[in-house]
Amino acid sequence: MRVDERALAKRLGQIVAKRRAMCGLTQEDLAERLNVGNEAVSRMERGTVPPSVARLHELAGIFKCSVCDLLIESSARAEEQSAYLSKLLANVSDDDRNVILDVVRKLSEHMQK
């Protein structure tokens, strides 16, 4: 696995773990739904073994999201991260969104120094 693929597998694994927890599922629960062993879920969440395209479809069904959502959340590409942030901000009030944007702006300025 190339370095880029490892980083993507790790980020995707973190998203799977986060989504699993948000659904109130244990690794054992997810393994049962996927018809795999517990260790397979653990390897996926650690980023040791990335999920296949077919597995991503299964996970999206379990997590009630799209495959695109899983990939965008795990992407390191600025365009996709922007789309993810836009989705997160969509249901936030105008005042709260302005506060969030101000924090992001200040962080961005600080990080660029």
Task: Return d(Cα 50, Cα 62) in angstroms, integer.
Answer: 17
- DSSP assignment of 42-78 equals HHHHHTSSPPPHHHHHHHHHHHTS-HHHHHHHH---H
pLDDT of residue 77: 84
- Stretches in the chain below the pLDDT threshold 70: 1-3
Task: Return d(Cα 110, Cα 104) in angstroms, integer.
Answer: 10
pLDDT of residue 3: 52
Query: Cα-Cα-Cα-Cα dihedral of 113, 78, 93, 12, to 10°?
Result: -110
